[in-house]
Amino acid sequence: EAGVTQFPSHSVIEKGQTVTLRCDPISGHDNLYWYRRVMGKEIKFLLHFVKESKQDESGMPNNRFLAERTGGTYSTLKVQPAELEDSGVYFCASSQVGPGQGPDTQYFGPGTRLTVL
C-alpha cells in the first residue's frame, strides 16, 4: 500500500512569490493533516481536514496560507505571498480512525522542504 506522498520534495522561492504544496494521503483515509517544522522548533499543527471539510484550522499562521482539499482526496497548501519566516519543512499526514474510535494514528509523508530567500 502506498504511503502519504508529497510534492515537491524541495522548493526554493523568493520572498513575495507563491508556492503550492501538494499532499496525497493514503487511499481511503478521510483525515488529512498539515504540520510544519520551522528550524530549531518542534513540529506544529496547521490544520485538519475530514474529507473535504476543514475540521480544525487553528494552527494556520495567517491568511497568506490557504489549504484546500477538493473532492476529499489530495490536498494543496498555498502560501501567497511567501515570507522569509515561512521557511521550514511542511509535513502532511493522514489517518483513518474517526472521533471516538480510539487513538488516532497518523502516518506522515516525507515532507516538503521550503526555503524562502
Partner 1 sequence: RKEVEQDPGPFNVPEGATVAFNCTYSNSASQSFFWYRQDCRKEPKLLMSVYSSGNEDGRFTAQLNRASQYISLLIRDSKLSDSATYLCVVNKGDSWGKLQFGAGTQVVVTP
Q: Which residues make up the interface to partner 1 (CB under 8 A)?
A: 31, 33, 35, 41-45, 48, 55-56, 58-59, 91, 95, 99, 103-111
Q: In the complex with partner 1, which residue's Cβ is closer, 15 or 54?
A: 54
Q: How far is the CB of 37 from partner 1 (least distance, A)?
A: 8
CB 94 within 8 A of CB 106: yes
The secondary structure of residue 99, as a DSSP letter, is T
* Of residues 17 and 44, the one with the C-beta less far from partner 1: 44
Q: Closest Cα to residue 74, out of 3, 1, 5?
A: 5
Q: Which is nearer to partner 1, 27 or 39 (CB)?
A: 39
- In the complex, the smallest distance separating the C-beta of residue 72 from partner 1, rounded to whole angstroms, is 15
Nearer to partner 1, 74 or 108 (CB): 108
* Torsion from C-alpha of 77, 79, 80, 81, nearest 10 degrees: -170
C-beta of 97: minimal distance to partner 1 in Å?
9
- Give the C-alpha separation, 61 to 68, whole Å: 15
